[in-house]
């Protein structure tokens, strides 16, 4: 049997795009559940997601009252899926490690969800998020828990033909996160480590099999210094 096929990040997500929302992915469930529990004040707010994928998070936050939704992604196929959800969203293709074509202090809430594992240097995207954030704004970072990523677990999937696809990923220990926040001009206003026991009664079997103490995602709330 042949081993996994490794693609670059954009190419991998281009392949995954059409099946992504229906894929049995416990990490996506955990991140989505954490986001659903976030006490965000969204009414009349402008929200930007770095790495918006198929737009599933934008849709969830739109339902909670966000007035303007903006998202970008490295994968054109993921963006095509997002565009099917709502034509009123502002969507564009971009690399989060580079400058984002939006004005300074133009958004109220910024979301990173399961995207920064694909970035070797956390500082550039976080610094760019800081630039775009309004003075009283909030950044949510919901990412694979370091205890998991440091075991070599990262984003991967199987195609309809059973071929396993992997992509570049970088394990970031807690000290790297904290150093990056400081360098980007952000302070930690809150943090939660979401274990299996925290993820609700409808958590999929893949989550339950890991046991109640298994840490799935870490959920940071950040504000400008």
pLDDT band at 12 (very low <50, low <70, confident <90, very high): very high
pLDDT band at 23 (very low <50, low <70, confident <90, very high): confident
Please, which residues have CB within 8 angstroms of residue 1's CB and are 6 or more apart in sequence? none
**Within its chain, how far is the Cα of 4 from the centroid?**
24
Q: What pLDDT, on a 0 to 100 scale, did the predictor assign at position 201?
A: 86
Long-range CB pairs of 127-130 (<8 Å, 24+ gap) are 127/183, 127/184, 127/185, 128/96, 128/99, 128/100, 129/50, 129/184, 129/186, 130/184, 130/185, 130/186, 130/224
Q: Does residue 1 surpass a pLDDT of 70? A: no
For 118, the 3-state DSSP assignment is helix
Q: What pLDDT, on a 0 to 100 scale, did the predictor assign at position 5?
A: 93
Percent of residues, the chain, with pLDDT higher than 70: 99
Mean pLDDT of the residues in the chain: 95
For 127, the 3-state DSSP assignment is helix
Q: Does residue 106 surpass a pLDDT of 70? A: yes
**Cross-strand bridge partners of residue 192:** 219
Q: What pLDDT, on a 0 to 100 scale, did the predictor assign at position 2?
A: 67
Q: Does residue 27 surpass a pLDDT of 90? A: yes
Percent of residues, the chain, with pLDDT higher than 90: 91
Out of 124-133, 184-193, 206-215, pick the least confident: 206-215
Contact 52, 116 (CB under 8 A): no
Q: Residue 182: count other Cβ atoms within 10 Å of its Cβ.
A: 14
Stretch 177-186: mean pLDDT: 98
Q: Does residue 30 surpass a pLDDT of 70? A: yes
Q: Does residue 86 surpass a pLDDT of 70? A: yes
User: Residues 31-60: pLDDT tens digits?
Assistant: 999 999 999 999 999 999 999 999 999 999
């Amino acid at each position: 049997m042949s081993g996994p096929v490794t693609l670059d990040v954009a190419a991998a997500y281009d392949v995954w795009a059409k099946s992504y929302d229906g894929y049995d992915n416990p990490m996506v469930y955990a991140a989505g559940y954490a986001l659903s529990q976030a006490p965000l004040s969204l009414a009349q707010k402008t929200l930007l997601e770095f790495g918006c994928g198929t737009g599933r998070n934008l849709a969830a936050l739109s339902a909670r009252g966000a007035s303007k939704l903006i998202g970008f992604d490295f994968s054109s196929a993921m963006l095509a899926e997002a565009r099917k959800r709502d034509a009123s969203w502002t969507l564009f293709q971009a690399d989060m490690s580079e400058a984002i074509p939006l004005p300074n202090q133009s958004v109220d809430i910024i979301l990173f969800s399961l995207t920064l594992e694909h970035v070797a240097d956390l500082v550039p995207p976080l610094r760019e998020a800081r630039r775009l954030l309004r003075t009283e704004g909030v950044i949510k970072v919901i990412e694979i828990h370091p205890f998991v990523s440091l075991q070599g677990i990262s984003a991967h999937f199987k195609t309809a033909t059973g071929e396993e696809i992997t992509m570049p990923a970088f394990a970031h220990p807690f000290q790297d996160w904290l150093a990056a926040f400081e360098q980007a001009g952000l302070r930690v206003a809150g943090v939660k480590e979401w274990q299996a026991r925290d993820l609700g009664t409808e958590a999929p079997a893949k989550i339950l099999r890991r046991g109640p103490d298994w840490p799935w995602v870490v959920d940071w709330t950040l504000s400008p210094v």
